Amino acid sequence: MTEKNRILIVDDDEVVRRSYLRSLEGISCNVAAASDGEEALQTMEANPFDVVLLDMRMPGQDGMSVLRTIKQKWPDSEVVIITGYPTVDSAKEAVRLGAYDYVAKPVGPQDVINITDGAISRKQWALRRVPEESDAANGSCAA
Q: What is the pLDDT of residues 108-123, one digit of tens each?
A: 999 999 999 999 999 8
Closest CA to 19 of 105, 78, 95: 105
CA distances from 67 to 44, 82, 96 (A): 12, 12, 11
In this prediction the pTM is 0.86
**How far apart are the C-alpha atoms of 136 and 143, rounded to whole Å?**
6
Predicted confidence at residue 125, as pLDDT, reads 82
Q: Which domains does the chain have, with CATH numbers?
A: 5-137 (3.40.50.2300)
Q: DSSP character for 11?
A: -
**How far apart are the C-alpha atoms of 103 and 80, rounded to whole Å?**
7
**How far apart are the C-alpha atoms of 143 and 36, rounded to whole Å?**
29
Predicted confidence at residue 19, as pLDDT, reads 95
Q: What is the mean pLDDT of residues 31-39?
A: 97
